[in-house]
Amino acid sequence: MRSSRWSLLALLACLATVVVALQARPTAVATPLATAPITVAQAVATQNGSSATVRGYVVGQPTATTTVIRSGYPNDYALALADSAAETNTSRMVYVQITTSFRTGYGLKTNPSLLGVQLDVTGALSAYFAHPGLTSTTAFARVDSGPTTTTPPSTTTPSTTTAPPTTGPTDDYYRSALGKTGPALKTALNQIIRTNAKVGYDQVWDALKVTDQDPANSNNVIEIYSGRSISKASSGGGAHDWNREHVWAKSHGDFGTATGPGTDLHHLRPEDVTVNSERGNKDFDNGGSTVADAPGNKTDADSWEPRDAVKGDIARMIFYMAVRYQGGDGFPDLEVDDTVNNGTQPYMGKLSTLRQWNAQDPPDDFERHRNQVIYDTYQHNRNPFIDHPEWVASIFG
């Protein structure tokens, strides 16, 4: 009996030793696996605002809801991904917003060789260009160069001295608008750009000498319709002087030249007095007879077609006015409609034509520089459709 008791005690002692030894061992912690990228097809089907990493091939740059271009990229703001590098059907693509930090490394204007490259991109699954999209992006990486990183790539951009400065805004300026579409986007943009400083009508003369200065001749300005470079000193009322053209005709809403829409630099441009008079208060549309003093422009009884090089500029000025002036601050509620011959109503047309012009003629360095000068020096607000021309499709169809 005594022997059995000692054997039992010995067994218990051994078990206690084993338990203590197990408790002393370090506990293994499972390392969570990184979330696997989803396909473009999954991203298109899951537009709920959630964050995801999408893997796909770069197939071009979206410029409108159903348009993706594969060359001649206008800027570094967006790209399209698809599950196949040969995909051409936009319904099987996701449109990616390239936020400011990543434009140097992943924008197609700067990096056209990215076409066909497979990327992992992280962002919010929400509409962009009124199309399934990936917005507010936080990470980009080539699939063949390792895991996705949230550190923007460091790429040296060659300097240039031939073009005017085109420093763009950070997305902080549009923070409250990012991810929104349609009426919500229009309202958000109005709240951002309506808090602008204002200039008087007499001040417009001097402002235009800066905003519209000829990059090739600092003594001149460029006229919006004729494209002519003319001396800054030749402003006035003579037959071939230049004066202050209201691109949104001031009679459309009857706001005249009072401080506000009548002096907003975002739609005031230098133009030859004779040409300005011939355009009058006509809406914008295609067609008509050639304007003798402004080759490339056409006009008829109720509309004006500008030269090709500024068609997009004209459209984006009109869209700016319709978003900036919505009737909430004592100024007229300006709207874009799909007609011409609007008279004194607070409307400008023709919407379908202006949408086409915006897509046809993307922002160039001159337009972007002008936007920046107005922001930095005069009104301290921006034309959002120069910074984000894709928003035209989201707001105006």
Each residue's pLDDT tens digit, 182-226: 999 999 999 999 988 999 999 999 999 999 999 999 999 999 999
Which has the higher per-residue pLDDT, 239 or 23?
239
What per-residue confidence (pLDDT) applies to 378? 95
The pLDDT, as a whole number, for residue 170 is 57
pTM: 0.62
Lowest model confidence (mean pLDDT) among 110-114, 129-133, 300-304, 362-366: 129-133
User: How confident is the model over 264-278, as a mean pLDDT?
Assistant: 97
Is the model's pLDDT at 20 over the cut of 80?
no
Q: Which residues pair with 221 in a beta bridge?
A: 213, 230
pLDDT mean across residues, the chain: 86
Mean pLDDT across the stretch 352-363?
94
Tell me the mean pLDDT in the region 62-69.
84
Average pLDDT over residues 6-19: 46
The encoded tokens of residue 366 equal 């001159």
Q: CB of 283 within 8 A of CB of 276?
A: no
Domains and CATH numbers, the chain: 40-145 (2.40.50.200), 182-396 (no CATH)
On whether the CB atoms of residues 331 and 325 are closer than 8 A, the answer is yes
Do 132 and 90 contact (CB within 8 A), yes or no?
Answer: no
Mean pLDDT of 155-182: 58
Which of 6-15, 237-246, 252-261, 366-375 is least confident? 6-15
The mean pLDDT value for 121-141 works out to 89
Report which of 259, 226, 229 is spatially closest to residue 245, judged by C-alpha positions. 226
On whether the CB atoms of residues 134 and 117 are closer than 8 A, the answer is no
Tell me which H or E stretch contains 2. Answer: helix 2-24
Q: What is the mean pLDDT of residues 268-283?
A: 97
If one compares 388 and 33, the residue with the highest pLDDT of the two is 388
Residue 25, pLDDT score: 42
Q: What is the rounded CA–CA span in Å between residue 111 and residue 122?
A: 19
Q: If you search the block for the tokens 């894709």, which residue do you land on? A: 390
Query: Quick check: 161 pLDDT over 50?
Result: no
Contact in structure between 246 and 321 (CB atoms under 8 Å): no
